[in-house]
């Protein structure tokens, strides 16, 4: 950006933000409602890897996040398959930070409750549809993503993007973003990009830390055959082992 007062496309803002936190490659499956989004990814200097299936893209994004600390998976409303939810569920279970961006129909089409091919609504085509029904896809991800952000108003969208990315990194869990195709190229202020996202861990309690370290060292000194296992999920593993007697 040559000037902090310049505007930038909403999708451009999304990818610039992702790049600021260490992302250089996006994975996705081209579809009717995300082609422009994928173009914006390459336009901001990111590498765009197009996959033939959501499963392939999802697994690649999961692996990328394990190495880089965050990943972006770009899919589309009309070609979403159960494999995406399966992969995102696995990422959630393993605390892998993947930002799932779903390209959706234009806001006007959603407000008019228009019909679209290859959607969840095809199973019951004769039932009346309400505008809110378009969120049926997001409901599938409520339990396996840390946040669900629906980008509707350009004036609020950049803050929503920041919320999703920050939550994804801070909690190390997948985040869900819906980006309507008519908002992809909407212009938003770029000045927000000047200040990088605060994604550092919260300040820790030094006194508590010293107490914990002393306790650990005491256990090591008195252990006859010490085994040290370090991982964020250790309490869960230990609990499961006790319950199953494995």
What CATH code is carried by the domain that includes residue 90?
3.40.50.970
Q: How confident is the model at residue 132 (pLDDT cuts 50, 70, 90)?
A: low
> Are residues 113 and 169 part of one domain?
yes
What whole-number distance in Å separates Cα of residue 136 and Cα of residue 119? 10
Q: How confident is the model at residue 214 (pLDDT cuts 50, 70, 90)?
A: very high
> Are residues 190 and 234 part of one domain?
no
* Structure confidence at residue 81 (pLDDT): 58
Percent of the chain with pLDDT over 70: 79
> Are residues 237 and 128 part of one domain?
no
Supply the range of the domain harboring residue 212.
206-244
Question: Which of 74-83, 134-143, 235-244 bottoms out in mean pLDDT, i.e. has the lowest?
Answer: 235-244
| 242 vs 164 pLDDT, higher one | 164
> Are residues 219 and 172 part of one domain?
no
Residue at 201 is within a domain:
no
pLDDT, average across residues 93-105? 94
Strand order in the sheet with 71-76: 47-50, 25-28, 71-76, 98-104, 175-180, 148-150
How many domains does the chain contain in total?
A: 2
> Are residues 168 and 106 part of one domain?
yes
Q: pTM of the entire structure? A: 0.78
Averaged pLDDT of the chain: 85
What number of other Cβ atoms are within 10 A of residue 232's Cβ? 9
E strand or H helix at 19, and its extent? helix 10-20
* Structure confidence at residue 74 (pLDDT): 96
> Are residues 227 and 142 part of one domain?
no
Q: Per-residue pLDDT for 58 more than 90?
A: yes
Q: Which residues contact 117 (CB under 8 A, 6 or more apart)?
A: 78
The residue out of 156, 174, 194 marking a domain boundary is 194
> Are residues 233 and 141 part of one domain?
no
Closest Cα to residue 62, out of 112, 7, 104, 99? 99
pLDDT, average across residues 141-153? 94
């Amino acid at each position: 950006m040559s000037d902090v007062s310049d505007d930038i496309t909403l999708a451009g803002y999304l990818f610039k933000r992702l790049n600021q936190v260490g992302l250089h490659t996006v994975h996705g499956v081209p579809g009717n409602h995300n082609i422009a989004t994928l173009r914006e990814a390459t336009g901001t200097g990111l590498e765009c890897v197009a996959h033939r299936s959501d499963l392939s893209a999802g697994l690649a994004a999961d692996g990328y996040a394990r190495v880089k600390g965050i990943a972006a998976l770009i899919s589309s409303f009309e070609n979403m398959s159960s494999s995406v939810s399966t992969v995102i569920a696995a990422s959630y279970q393993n605390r892998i930070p993947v930002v799932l961006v779903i390209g959706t129909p234009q806001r006007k089409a959603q407000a008019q409750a228009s019909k679209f091919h290859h959607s969840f609504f095809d199973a019951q085509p004769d039932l009346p549809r309400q505008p809110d029904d378009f969120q049926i896809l997001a409901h599938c991800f409520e339990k396996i993503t840390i946040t669900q952000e629906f980008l509707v108003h350009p004036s609020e969208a950049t803050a929503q993007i920041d919320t999703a990315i920050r939550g994804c990194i801070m909690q190390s869990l997948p985040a869900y973003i819906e980006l309507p195709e008519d908002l992809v190229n909407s212009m938003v202020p770029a000045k927000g990009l000047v200040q990088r996202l605060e994604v550092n861990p919260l300040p820790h309690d030094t006194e508590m830390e010293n107490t914990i370290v002393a306790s650990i060292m005491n256990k090591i000194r008195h252990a006859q055959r010490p085994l040290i296992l370090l991982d964020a999920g250790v309490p869960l593993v230990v609990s499961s082992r006790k319950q199953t007697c494995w």
